[in-house]
Structure 1
């Protein structure tokens, strides 16, 4: 086969990090994604204004900054949890919410729900080690 064969086409490996769609800063590791429901780590929720949010739940996200305010339980998508707005630590774009258990028996005691529209997955190419955005 002459140039352009399969050997020159990078095959992406599984997602390793999630990045801010605006500034490309690293937000979280893929290994921190987990399920809060039987449907999996992704959910679709509607706020009181009718805006639809597709979210992914994570145990932690080091690239996120949580606003310094008390959690609100008003219109929460997770019964027993209060929410606080979370932004990109670098560019301050809205990323989603930190959810905090308001009742001691709930597990996990806290987690994040990040908006899919605010993040993108970063993949690792298999042979050159270049990062690929998909």
Structure 2
């Protein structure tokens, strides 16, 4: 009789472990799908925790969207001096390469200078890193900066699985 109890306990234990593994896999999948990727190469650029809400009085238009499963993410439409328009989402930080020189002219965020930022993998222009005009590492920290990324240059991880990239060497 004791053998039957032990066998049933083992079965219950195995089922409990299996349920925990499935739950862990599902949570990891959901967490992984809360990322933005570079639309060109698939490099991870930012996640839902890095989204921020930096508004500008110079935006041509602004609206809220659900991005990465987060409701009411602020999207702003900006126009540069060349009349190009960009839908921009802001992040506290992102996996980008910020170029060295900062410019205060034509900044969409008064009091902030901008630096071009690109994908660290494929070097595609993704947006801009903003910092205080007189930024220096003695009086400021990275917490004083933020990143504005062009929404059209990103793709959500959950949509990225549907994209197939075929290297030129395989094309006939």
State the number of aligned residues: 113
Residue 132 of structure 1 and its aligned partner are, at CA, apart by 4.5
Alpha-carbon contact 1:54-1:117 (below 8 Å) kept: yes
Residue 102 of structure 1 and its aligned partner are, at CA, apart by 2.0
Residue 133 of structure 1 and its aligned partner are, at CA, apart by 5.2
Higher-helix-fraction structure: 2
Residues in 1 aligned to 2:82 and 2:49: alpha-carbon distance in whole angstroms: 32
Partner of 2:156: 121
Partner of 1:5: none
- Greater RCO structure (CA 8 Å; 6+ sep): 1
Residues in 2 aligned to 1:115 and 1:98: alpha-carbon distance in whole angstroms: 12
Residues in 2 aligned to 1:30 and 1:94: alpha-carbon distance in whole angstroms: 21
Runs of 4 or more consecutive aligned structure 1 residues displaced over 4 Å after TM superposition: 12-15, 131-134
The answer as to 2:97 corresponding to 1:65 is yes
Report the TM-score when normalising by structure 2: 0.58
CA RMSD of aligned residues (A): 2.7
Residues in 1 aligned to 2:94 and 2:116: alpha-carbon distance in whole angstroms: 13
Equivalent residue runs for 1:1-134 within 5 Å: 15-37=33-55, 40-62=73-95, 64-69=96-101, 71-102=102-133, 109-123=144-158, 132=161
Secondary structure of the equivalent of 1:18?
Answer: strand
Cα 1:117–1:100 change in 2 (3 A) is same
- In structure 1, runs of 5+ residues without a counterpart are 1-11, 125-130
Alpha-carbon contact 1:33-1:41 (below 8 Å) kept: no
